[in-house]
Structure 1
Amino acid sequence: MDILWFGVFAVLLLGYFALEGFDIGLGMLLPVLGRTQEGRDRVVAAMAPYVLANEVWLVAVAGVLFGAYPRAEGEVLFGLYPLVVSLLVSWIVRDAGLWFRRRLDGRAWRAGWDGAICLGSFGLAFSWGAALVALASGMSITPLGLAGGVAVAAALAFHGWTFVSWRLPGRVTGARRSGTALLVSACVAAAPAAALLAGAAPWLLGHTAPTDTLNVLSLMILPFAPVMIGGQVWVWRTFGPGRAPERTPSFF
């Protein structure tokens, strides 16, 4: 049962970086890829159908960490408190930019919230990079975390660039990318988390909840896995390349 839940946690964490990673990457690249308001609208519209479905993976990661690894969750929150706060604040700022940018039809209004999307996305990428380095170094926040932040930000930016080149071939970046290229960039985005999981597996397994707790979690959570995966498949099949994003209904 311990191995099963470690596998579930690993799949969810890697899935978050592989899927939500391109949203974060596009947010960082928003001022570069969208030099005009119309260009930024096009970039946001390209990722809009995927954002909420992708964020579900982070919620699932937090839920599994809390339920299957309660002692680890406590140590992470206490030891990496500044980075956890930075992650949450960046997430709120990024999502606020997405939700509010179209609430009023004014260029200054949209430009301000587009800036929030970019700032929040950078905060998410750097905070994740620093957190992964800190976790790998025994809950220690060090200057090396800055390098981790830069590396993760670069990986996610590459993933975002590849995604928009796949979703809108030739229209934003001037390049066209295949589904295979997108899969490769997803692996690049998830690589830092994979490296952490490989090194932290013994520690995480040592903090697993009792078997009775895991059995209850299995009955409560695992039946919802097909729903989450099915929803993700539906989103990708419905909003793939060839469908004009500006004609897709969106809150963003």
Structure 2
Amino acid sequence: MELLWFVFFAVLLTGYFALEGFDLGVGLLLPLLGRTREDRDRMVAAVAPYVLANEVWLVAVAGTLFGVYPLLEGEVLFTLYPLVVAMLLCWVLRDAGLWFRRRLDGRAWRGFWDGTIAFGSLGLSAGWGMTLYAAATGFTASPVHPVGLMLGLVVTLLFAFHGWTFLGWRTPGTFGATRSGRMLVLSGLVAALPAAGVLAGALPYLLEHSAPPASLNVLSVMVLPFAPIMLGAQIWVWRTFRPGKDAFRVPSFF
């Protein structure tokens, strides 16, 4: 049962990196590729249908972490408290930018919220790299470490590449690239590599610190039946908003 839940947790975390990675990547590229207001609208429009569906994976990761590995909750929150708070603020800023950028039509208004999207995406991307470093050290080292900062840079670059690949798939040729669905899957796997590497190294530790079997059995009954629903909803989103399906009709959130 412990191994089953480790596999489930690993799928959720790597799936989050592979899916939310392109959301954050598009946000990172907003100041670089979005040279005009129309370009920025198109970039946000391309990613808009996927954002909320992808964020569900993070909620599932957090719930599984604290349910299956309750002893880690104190270590994560105590060791990474400033970083966790900073990442939550970046998450709020990024999502606020997505929702508010079109509430008014002024240039300054849109510029401000476009900036929060880029800043929030950068903070989340770098924060995830630093979090992975802390996890790889067993939460014994500060994430603000040269190696942690370097891993934050690596994750940021991987997400940016994944976002660029996504734009080439969702809006072929619009931002200088045309990418196939196979290339998008490949870039998603690459974006998830740091998380997969840390999970592989942490396997013995996580198995030893799993919740008692009785708790895992209860979680299995309560949680696992909803996994097909989550997967089915994700498939529906991708089939509904695949390339050619009104990529530019809604230029942003409402």
TM (norm. structure 1) is: 0.97
* Distance in 1 between residues matched to 2:252 and 2:217, nearest whole Å: 39
List gaps (5 residues or longer) in structure 2.
none
In structure 2, distance between residues paired with 1:110 and 1:87: 23
Matched, 1:107 2:110: no
2:126 corresponds to: 126
Instruction: Give the match for residue 205 of structure 2.
Output: 203
* Larger mean Cα displacement after TM superposition, 161-170 or 83-92: 83-92
- Which residue does the alignment assign to 1:215? 217
Q: For residues 66-124 of structure 1, what are the alpha-carbon distances to aligned partners after superposition, in whole Å with 9 as ceiling and x for unaligned? A: 11111012211111212211211111111111111111122211110000000000000
C-alpha contact 1:49 1:250 (8 A) present in aligned 2? no
After superposition, give the CA deviation of every residue in 1:194-215 in whole Å (9 maximum; x if it has no partner): 0000011111111111111111
Pick which of 238-247 and 207-216 moved more. Answer: 238-247
How far apart are residue 248 of structure 1 and its match? 4.0
Separation in 2 of the partners of 1:165 and 1:49?
16
Sequence identity percentage: 66
Post-superposition CA distance 1:203-228 (Å, at most 9, x none): 11111111111111111111111111
CA RMSD of aligned residues (A): 1.1
Q: Distance in 2 between matches of 1:76 and 1:201?
A: 17
- The residue identity in structure 2 corresponding to 1:226 is P
> Does the alignment pair 1:160 with 2:182?
no
| Residues 25-80 of structure 1: CA deviation (Å, up to 9, x unaligned) | 00000011111111100000000000000000000000001111110122111112
1:79 and 2:79 correspond: yes
Partners of 1:3 and 1:170 lie apart in 2 by: 44
Runs of 5+ in structure 1 lacking a partner? none
The aligned amino acid for 1:169 is: P
* In 2, Cα distance between equivalents of 1:250 and 1:108: 17
1:115–1:249 Cα change, 3 Å? closer
Question: SS state of the match for residue 175, structure 1?
Answer: coil
TM-score computed with the length of structure 2 as normaliser: 0.96
Judge conservation of contact 2:170–2:242 (CA < 8 Å) in 1.
yes
Kindly provide the amino acid, as one letter, of the partner of residue 43 in structure 1. Answer: M
Answer whether contact 1:25 1:156 (CA < 8 A) is retained: yes
Query: What residue in structure 1 maps to residue 178 of structure 2?
Result: 176
Greater shift, 140-149 or 22-31, is seen at 140-149
**1:241 aligns to what SS in structure 2?**
coil
What is the number of equivalent residue pairs in this alignment? 251
